[in-house]
Every structure is written in structure tokens, then in C-alpha cells.
Amino acid sequence: MIDILFYVFAALALGGAMGVVAGRSPVASLLFMVLCLGSVAGIYVLLEAHFLAAVQVIVYAGAIMVLFLFVIMLLNLGHNYHPDLKAGLWSALSFAVAGALFGFLGRQLWGNRTMTPEAGDSVDALVAQYGAVGAIARPLYTEWVVPFEITGILLLVAIVGALVLAKQRV
């Protein structure tokens, strides 16, 4: 049952990802992206990582996608994208970045194909002790607090940048 569901969600996620790239209208692409992100949340549920699934939906499918809708509808609707896509240098650059990304992923997968979880408390024990949220929040705010805060600053920079851009257009 779980295997079947996994393949369903995986197919939906991959199909959604293809749809984002292949879709002609930006709104269709966005909906495909929501489908993709939602399917990933479904896979998290199958892994019993309920908290991650909820956060995935809240953060990506919920908040960010709404803002995406805003941007596309208010700023770019009717804009012709094809000149952007045909620029030679940019496509070469994007191919290079995508290739590098796939290279890293492939290296990870091929390097240690037998994935064994690190020794330590099992997830079930952690969830039983701290609850579904605590099991994630505890390491996040103790061991990994510096990367976490730096990510926060990154988001702040993005917000300030968005404000600057928005102010220019008025």
C-alpha cells in the first residue's frame, strides 16, 4: 500500500516538475509547481515525517506560492518570455548550473548507495519524547542554530530586495 502510494506521489511530483517547465501559461506552471510541492509533502507523510509535510505545505505551497501568483499576475502577465529564453549565454549558463546540480546529486547517490541512518536515537523515540515538532525544533535551535539564523537573514535580504524592486515600479 505504502509502496503504491509512494509511486503515485513520486509520479505526481515528477509530472508536476515537468509541467512547470513545459507549461505555456505562467499560471499553469504555478499550479504544476503546487502539485509538485504537494506531492513531496505526501511523500513526507509516507515517511511519517508529518511535521515536515505540514511545513512543506505551509511554507511552499501556501505562502510562497501566493506571493508568486502576485508577482506573475501583477508584473509579468502578457510579457513575452521567448526573447529571454533564447539568449545564448543565459541558456549556456543555466545548462551549466543544472549540470553541476545533477552532478552533485549523482555523486551523492553513487557514492554511498547503501544509506544507513546514523547511530543515535530513533525517530520514533524522539517523537515520543518531544512530540512531532520538538523532534525537529530541538536540534534546529540547539545544534544548528547558526545556519538557521543565517537562513533567516537571507530571507530578510530577499524581503528588502523585493521592497526595493516594488518601490521602483510605482
Site residues, another protein (CB under 8 A): 27, 31, 34, 50-51, 53-55, 57-58, 61-63, 65-67, 69-70, 73-74, 127, 131-133
41, 53 contact by CB (below 8 A)? yes
Instruction: State the minimum distance, in angstroms, from the CB of residue 111 to another protein.
Output: 33
Instruction: State the minimum distance, in angstroms, from the CB of residue 95 to another protein.
Output: 32
Q: Please, which residue, 99 or 131, has the CB nearer to another protein?
A: 131
Instruction: State the minimum distance, in angstroms, from the CB of residue 166 to another protein.
Output: 13
Q: Please, which residue, 76 or 91, has the CB nearer to another protein?
A: 76
Q: Please, which residue, 36 or 65, has the CB nearer to another protein?
A: 65
Place of cell 511554507: 59
CA–CA separation, 98 and 102 (whole Å): 6
Instruction: State the minimum distance, in angstroms, from the CB of residue 5 to another protein.
Output: 16
Distances (CA, A) of 147 to 22, 34, 85, 133, 170: 35, 27, 34, 19, 35
Q: Please, which residue, 94 or 129, has the CB nearer to another protein?
A: 129
Q: Helix (H) and strand (E) counts for the chain?
A: 8, 0
CA–CA separation, 161 and 170 (whole Å): 15
Q: Please, which residue, 92 or 128, has the CB nearer to another protein?
A: 128
Cell of 167: 518601490
DSSP 8-state assignment for residue 34: H
Instruction: State the minimum distance, in angstroms, from the CB of residue 20 to another protein.
Output: 16
Distances (CA, A) of 4 to 36, 45, 71, 158: 17, 14, 37, 39
